[in-house]
Amino acid sequence: MGDRGTLSAGETEAGADGDQSSDLFVRIDGVSRNRSVFVHSGRIERGQLAIGDLVMARVDRGCRRRAQANHTATHLLQAALKQVVDPSIAQAGSLVDFDRLRFDFHSPRAVTAAELERIEALINGWIADAHHLQVREMGIEQARAAGAVAMFGEKYADVVRVVDVPGVSMELCGGTHVANTAEIGLFKIIAETGVAAGIRRIEAVAGPAVLAYLNERDAVVRQLGERFKVQPGEIVERVAALADELKASGKALAAARTELALARSTELAAGAETIGAFQLLVARLDGVEAAGLQSAAQRLQERLGEGAAVVLAGVPDATITDKLSLVAAFGPAVVAAGPKAGAFIGAIARLVGGGGGGRPNLATAGGKEVAGLDGALETARAQLIEALSL
């Protein structure tokens, strides 16, 4: 990240802010470095820019102050991690932006919530202590002997720049920083996540960005309070109660659907086919969850007897067009005759883009190609007739 600002030329005294009275006005939104060359990128809003032009460069001081706050905060964050989590923690990368910061570090485990609270409190304590930063250049070996932290794998010149927060942090760094930690104002951690094997990431805000973050969260809390008609401190309890109610309603609905499936299965029994000594029932039963479908198949098999082979399938929810359930329940005589429920229903499920299996007498499967379900059930019926007619 580089500075933001403006390039201007031909200004009058009244236009010293580079806004309206300049013959040339370029808004710079980023600066990058290519070896020893600093490349400014931006948009020409007025005038023309040519090689050899003499221009006035102005840095956006507001953006600079936010970047300084976030950059110094990353140094404090690394120091706090070493103190709270593990002294051997090493930086694996970082981002300093105008409105946020992130810090990647090597760690075999996640940072706990309690540790994050301690880190946050420690950093805000250092901010409140108003440490004056000491920035100086020295030889690389002298810096290392003084205890300056360097990024592993980074190449440094013989003379390096050391940014020291006395008693807190000392790092090799060429970036811009606050003059005193009090300028940061506040520091707030917003997330801790894993980004790769053995690498964790902390995202945070510092300085003026903290206020924007808190305002956003405060707006969410107010909206939730208004919606649930409770005070902010009661929101968690209210949401937990609603979650419990929803869970109970879901269980009640599932039970009702299972009872419906069992009731409808009684009607299906009349459609069973007699194949020699066996009873065969292959049917579609929509609107029933997988558990209810399994209960219905088991009850039908028990009702039809030890020689019953029952295959049921259906779409549990008409609003979901890529999910279906299948179940096979075979009596002992059917299993002895050869067909095994697990292998059988798994093969049928593959016809509708799914799979599954289970025990020889009872097995379930799923699929996602609803359009092919009727054809798959016809195949199941034909295969069972063939197997049970031998």
Percent of the chain predicted with pLDDT > 90 = 52
DSSP secondary-structure letter at 338? S
Nearest to 148 by CA among 173, 175, 170: 170
Sequence letter at residue 57: A
pLDDT band (50, 70, 90) for residue 16: very low
* pLDDT tens profile 173-190: 888 899 999 999 999 999
Residue 342: alpha-carbon gap to chain centroid? 37
What are 47's two structure tokens?
């005038």
How crowded is residue 358: how many other Cβ atoms within 10 Å of its Cβ? Answer: 19
Report all structural domains of the chain as residue ranges with CATH numbers, in order of start.
5-59 (no CATH), 64-225 (3.30.980.10), 252-388 (3.10.310.40)
Residue 12 pLDDT? 46
pLDDT band (50, 70, 90) for residue 50: confident
Residue 95 pLDDT? 86
Residue 14 pLDDT? 39
**What is the C-alpha to C-alpha distance for residues 360 and 165, in angstroms, rounded to an integer?**
71
* Residue 43 near residue 15, CB atoms below 8 Å: no
Residue 266 pLDDT? 72
What are 57's two structure tokens?
């460069």
Average pLDDT of the chain to the nearest whole number: 88
* Residue 297 near residue 282, CB atoms below 8 Å: no
The residue among 35 and 140 whose pLDDT is bigger is: 140
Residue 390: alpha-carbon gap to chain centroid? 56
Asked whether the predicted pLDDT for residue 134 surpasses 90, the reply is yes
Query: 360-374 as b/e, with b when 16 or more CB fall inside 10 Å?
Result: bbbbbbbbeebeebe
User: Cβ neighbours of residue 344 under 8 Å, at least 6 residues apart?
Assistant: 311, 328, 330, 363, 380, 383, 384
Question: What is the sign, positive or negative, of the torsion defined by CA atoms of 128, 129, 132, 138?
Answer: negative
Helices then strands, counting H and E runs in the chain, come out as 9, 17
Specify which residues 165 forms β-bridges with: 169
